Amino acid sequence: MSSHEAVIVGTGFGGMGAAIQLKRLGIDDFVMLEREDDLGGTWHVNRYPGLAVDIASVTYSYSFEPNPWWSHWYARGPELKKYADHVATTYDLRGHMRFGQVVEGARWDEDARQWEVQVAGAEPVRATYLVTATGFLSQPRLPDIEGVDDFAGTVVHSAKWDPAVDLGGKRVAIIGTGATAVQLIPELAKQAGHLTVLQRTPIWVTPKLDRAMPKRVQRMFAKAPFTQRWARRVNTSVLELIMVAGVLHYRRAKVFNRGAERIAKRHLRRQVADPELRRKLTPDYSFGCKRPTFSNDYFRTFTEPDVDLETTSIARITPTGISLEDGRDIDVDVLVLATGFDMWDANFPAISIVGRDGKDLGRWWRSTRFQAYQGIAVPGFPNLLSLASPYSYSGLSFFTTIEAQMKHIDRLLTEVRRRDARTFEVTDPANEEFLGWVTERLGDSVFALGSCATARSYYFNQHGEAALLRPTSTINTHREAERFPLDDYSYV
């Protein structure tokens, strides 16, 4: 059985960020276990037509590894995969990665003070530190619709896109109108003979200020990196305004939230003249209850002659198509499921994690409350850095979260070494205080005070709590990562 200082589960941007941080701390004895056949996480797995980032690339990238050569302000999927490859090479991470390794679980061995990580069909791996970087949106969800397995045509989930699927001239139906569908629908419409969009809940969509990155701007970013840092700062501030003012400080700053709703409604009016179609596409829940989306061609697509928006509920899926609750049938050749990911049942945590005294993380979260100190550590789980945890996601760009977690790891492991300790574990009081603090702050947010009942948002868990996003500014998140009291952990 191999034994290492650390095991990182996942080779997406979260896992790579943690690996870079370990290297900065001088820890080189670690392996990165990845269930897929290549690195990049989301950006390796997702390949659907139209895939792009919807946070500007100057912000959606590591601040310490800027890429001046983005082809667009919002990079397309393959370009992000290339960026992930570049980061892995630049920071010498590839040698640590093992692909096709499905981690089934991890168990804390109190005697050895190590984690034992079980890998399907392989020897377990032992490590002093366990870092789970399994992402938030990594377990695709199939819709709980009767007959979904009976469909005789082609079925494809957006997260398991098969480029060989031929859409040309076909009768295509797509279930779902989340952020993925907002990108997919305009592309499907270009290829399909006829497209039916089955919408259960409409989504807020605002314009996307996207265009090709002019060559002279690329050259300027390359020659004078401070200009790109400045662009990042401006863009991050806008995102911060949306998130902090519009969502988290809803009690005092409703005006920003309403402003965002007005922008989205004006965007819809500009693209769709038919008032009935507009009504169907207009959400009845507050902006921010669900992750808002950005697109310049989503609404317009519904005005095309071969595209139908269907809002009647689905009764069942049949071998030939979809039966609706009102008795109508839609004949379908290709069924696209843009039905998202299972976060609260399958992803928190994504693998079985058993800590001290047999404490099972998933069972504990479900039977008490979803919680993690600073969104990264849990009492009863020594030497575990759980990156995809409740209350960890800060701001709108995932990189804000990753880089704050890197700072947390830096401070914590530096202290572990200073004390010449073998284990760290967050204390119960520190964890409870953090949970109380985020709970109180959420009371001011759109999740508590807005009208979210009809949003069906994955921000909310099965207990009705919005336990995904950290309800603070990203400035606060980073400050806390650099200054949290070191005595919030016990060290042995």
Q: Strands 171-175, 97-98: parallel, antiparallel or unpaired by DSSP?
A: unpaired
State which of residues 40, 41, 135, 178 lies at the interface with ligand NAP (CB under 6 A). Answer: 178
Output the residue with the shortest Cβ distance to ligand NAP.
178
Residue 14 binding ligand NAP, by CB under 6 A? no
- For residues 133 and 376, give the distance between their C-alpha atoms in angstroms, rounded to a whole number: 10
Site residues (CB under 6 A) for ligand NAP, limited to 107-146: 137, 143-145
Residue 70 binding ligand NAP, by CB under 6 A? no
Task: For the beta carbon of residue 492, count every other beta carbon within 10 angstroms.
Answer: 12
- For residues 72 and 248, give the distance between their C-alpha atoms in angstroms, rounded to a whole number: 30
Nearest Cα neighbor of 206 from 176, 182, 174, 235 is: 182
Radius of gyration of the chain from its Cα atoms, rounded to whole angstroms? 23
**Residues whose CB is less than 8 angstroms from the CB of residue 433 and which lie 6 or more positions away in sequence, other chains included:** none
Residue 175 binding ligand NAP, by CB under 6 A? yes
- For residues 98 and 38, give the distance between their C-alpha atoms in angstroms, rounded to a whole number: 9
State which of residues 53, 334, 413, 416 lies at the interface with ligand NAP (CB under 6 A). Answer: 53
Residue 315 binding ligand NAP, by CB under 6 A? no
Smallest distance from ligand NAP to CB 438, Å: 20
State which of residues 28, 54, 297, 342 lies at the interface with ligand NAP (CB under 6 A). Answer: 54
Residue type for position 245: A
Site residues (CB under 6 A) for ligand NAP, limited to 262-291: 291
Smallest distance from ligand NAP to CB 42, Å: 8
First and final C-alpha spacing in the chain = 25
CA distances from 416 to 133, 171, 284, 409, 490 (A): 21, 60, 50, 10, 10
Asked if 257 and 446 count as a contact pair (C-beta separation under 8 A), the reply is: yes
Residue 201 binding ligand NAP, by CB under 6 A? yes
Residue 401 binding ligand NAP, by CB under 6 A? no
Asked if 176 and 310 count as a contact pair (C-beta separation under 8 A), the reply is: no
Q: Which is nearer to ligand NAP, 40 or 380 (CB)?
A: 40
Smallest distance from ligand NAP to CB 390, Å: 16
Residue 338 binding ligand NAP, by CB under 6 A? yes
Residue 177 binding ligand NAP, by CB under 6 A? yes
Site residues (CB under 6 A) for ligand NAP, limited to 453-482: 456, 458
Handedness of CA 233, 237, 238, 239 (dihedral sign): positive
Residue 181 binding ligand NAP, by CB under 6 A? yes
Residues that bind ligand NAP (CB under 6 A): 52-55, 137, 143-145, 158, 175-181, 183, 200-201, 291, 314, 338-341, 456, 458
